[in-house]
Structure 1
Amino acid sequence: MSAPTVPARFRNMPPGPLLGDRVLADAQRQPYTLFELAPVSPIIGAEISGVRLSGELSPEVLAELRRALLEWKVLFFRDQDIRREEHRDFAALWGGLEQHPFANIIGDSGDVDVVALAKDATKAGVENLWHNDVTWRVAPSFAAILRAVEVPALGGDTLWADTGAAYDVLSDEMKEKIDGLVAEHDWASSFGLSMSQEQIAALRPQFPVANHPVVRVIPETGRRVLFVNRVFTERILGMDESESAELLETLYRHMNRPEFQVRLRWAKNTIAMWDNRACQHYAVSDYFPNRRVMERISVIGDRPVGVQG
């Protein structure tokens, strides 16, 4: 008896186990000895306890945190009652701090490297699209550190999706198709919506269109991750418009499956840190008109490198 034919609607995304791993299969996995680490999902997201982010962190603790970030992509720290200056000091341990050029559009804090995301009855949350931050930069952010200042009683969760695990479970045929592709990323169709054409043209020399590999390689681990997103990716180079749109939609839908996700319910003084290279995030906008205030600091990244270098 022949095997049943798989319905066409299931061929790109068949149901069943999706067993992407959180690290490369041959990676050496070591225990964490300087703090407690509790996984929140099988592949992405871990809660860290036993570390005070407002204090001095030894090189050994910082090294373990770096290893945990590479392995779990998102780290959660609860009950961190710290000041903005301490938030900034912790972020600076990871690299140079990024100044967001459109901070006046997405938030306002009065500080060049802190974006205060305050939402209430006068300003609803609009970050509920899956994305990596600032992929329109030539060198997108390495990481972001988000601190909950004020949260609603219900709602306002944030989700992250592991784009490395999503790549892992693609078919060999799809991997071969996308490994060498390059996509165009731009800010004009998002942040530019609140600008005039003259303002966009004036900013173009400073923030040109950026081209990045569709499959990015994380240099510390060699992990391959999908590096396209709905907000900033415009098209795949070398394809006609319809073919590019179809392939991108297939990748978006695949990346955003729940098996690759972790979800955080915020509480005041919770901090989330994530590797912006290796995961996307989505801020749930279900709390309007209640108030939600977060402060975010981003760490400068490097230029993405693809499979072929």
Structure 2
Amino acid sequence: MTYSTPEIHPTPTDPLAAYGPLVARRTPDSFDDRPYETFTVSPVTPTIGAEVSGIRLTGGLPDETMSELRRALLEWKVLFFRDQNIERTEHRAFAERWGSLEQHPFFKYTHPGQTETDVATLAKDAMTGGVENNWHNDVTWHAFPSFAAVLRAVEVPPVGGDTLWSDTGAAYDLLPATIRERIDTLVAEHDWINSFGKHMPPDTVEMLRLQFPAVQHPVVRVIPETGRRVLFVNLSFTQRIVGMSPTESDELLRMLYRHVQRPEFQVRLRWQPNTVAFWDNRACQHYAASDYFPARRVMERISIVGDRPVGVSS
């Protein structure tokens, strides 16, 4: 894409209450946007989300296909694959092609019966309602947050239970220039204590706190493969902006959270059995709609280990 970001029209009292066209560039001008040759890509929105057809997700995909999938992930941030009747072992083998699998340290405390720590079984029903209905990037409380996640639908409710993703690069691009300049060099603190910690006994929290202290990440993260700047703060795990008063920090974070929630930056997936979603956790946030209780919804997620976030001034 080579068009310029359209002019937006902020109100005098709220710089983010803009109206008019809100279409960001999907990728930087330097991005390699050649057609895909080993599968078919069907966009769902202008900037985020595409359905990929013509391949079956296994660990044995050819290197050429893997290279094109990496390019597609950078372009669309989240990829959807329908009719993937794959086994748990195939799910794991595909994820392993992207890097080391994340061993989630908290699932055995917050998901009773969870024996594997690299495959998270997220089972919700009349006894256990969904609680993932907050916009977030996964495990930003870690020094090395997840690179990506592969989520497979095992059992879906008759209606409801959709997942939404928001393009945090598009959200950054369509901030007013004065706000982008203000946040480009800021750092935020991330922690798990107010999320996962709420469901743990105090002695467990005390033990895990030594292993996983609060961490600091840039408010604006740079995706190394593309140079794209993305917002990297989220409602679930970001605690504060370093160096700001609590009032100023809360005000700025609330403004950024509200901006990320604009529908123009989002894609929504209606799950079907054997649907797989694969997303870049660095470049988008996600939200699992909890509107299906007491129906049953079972998903299996595998996350891939990421690297330390790099900021604008790094």
Band of TM-score, shorter chain: over 0.9
Cα gap change, 1:108 to 1:179, in 2 (>3 Å): farther
Aligned-partner residue type, residue 228 of structure 1: V
Cα gap change, 1:7 to 1:62, in 2 (>3 Å): closer
SS at 1:204's partner residue? helix
- Per the TM alignment, residue 127 of structure 1 is displaced from its structure 2 partner at its CA by 0.2
2:22 aligned partner = 18
- CA distance in 2: counterparts of 1:127 and 1:276, whole angstroms: 15
- CA distance in 2: counterparts of 1:218 and 1:62, whole angstroms: 19
SS at 2:138's partner residue? coil
**1:108–1:115 CA contact under 8 A, matched in 2:** no
- CA distance in 2: counterparts of 1:84 and 1:7, whole angstroms: 51
Aligned-partner residue type, residue 79 of structure 1: D
**2:185–2:313 CA contact under 8 A, matched in 1:** yes
SS at 2:117's partner residue? coil
Q: Which runs of 5+ in 2 are unaligned?
A: 1-8
Cα gap change, 1:34 to 1:128, in 2 (>3 Å): same
1:52 aligned partner = 56
- Per the TM alignment, residue 102 of structure 1 is displaced from its structure 2 partner at its CA by 1.2
Of 45, 56, 62, which aligns to 2:66? 62
SS at 1:298's partner residue? strand
1:42 aligned partner = 46
Number of aligned pairs?
305
TM score, norm. by length of structure 1: 0.96
**1:107–1:115 CA contact under 8 A, matched in 2:** no
**1:212–1:304 CA contact under 8 A, matched in 2:** yes
Matched, 1:230 2:230: no
Matched, 1:165 2:175: no
- Per the TM alignment, residue 19 of structure 1 is displaced from its structure 2 partner at its CA by 1.8
SS at 1:282's partner residue? strand
- Per the TM alignment, residue 6 of structure 1 is displaced from its structure 2 partner at its CA by 6.6
2:131 aligned partner = 126
- Per the TM alignment, residue 202 of structure 1 is displaced from its structure 2 partner at its CA by 1.3
**2:11–2:18 CA contact under 8 A, matched in 1:** no
SS at 2:211's partner residue? coil
Matches within 5 A, 1:107-118: 108-118=113-123
Matches within 5 A, 1:131-142: 131-142=136-147
Of 144, 156, 160, which aligns to 2:161? 156
**1:48–1:75 CA contact under 8 A, matched in 2:** yes
Aligned-partner residue type, residue 267 of structure 2: V
Deviations 1:198-243 (A, max 9, x none): 3222111210101000000001111100000000000000000000
Q: Which runs of 5+ in 1 are unaligned?
A: none
Matched, 1:215 2:220: yes
- Per the TM alignment, residue 256 of structure 1 is displaced from its structure 2 partner at its CA by 1.0
- CA distance in 2: counterparts of 1:201 and 1:32, whole angstroms: 50
Of 284, 291, 294, which aligns to 2:289? 284
2:5 aligned partner = none
- CA distance in 2: counterparts of 1:29 and 1:147, whole angstroms: 28
Which portions of structure 1, spanning 4 or more consecutive aligned residues, are displaced by more than 2 angstroms? Answer: 5-13, 25-28, 106-110, 195-199
User: RMSD in angstroms over aligned alpha carbons?
Assistant: 1.4
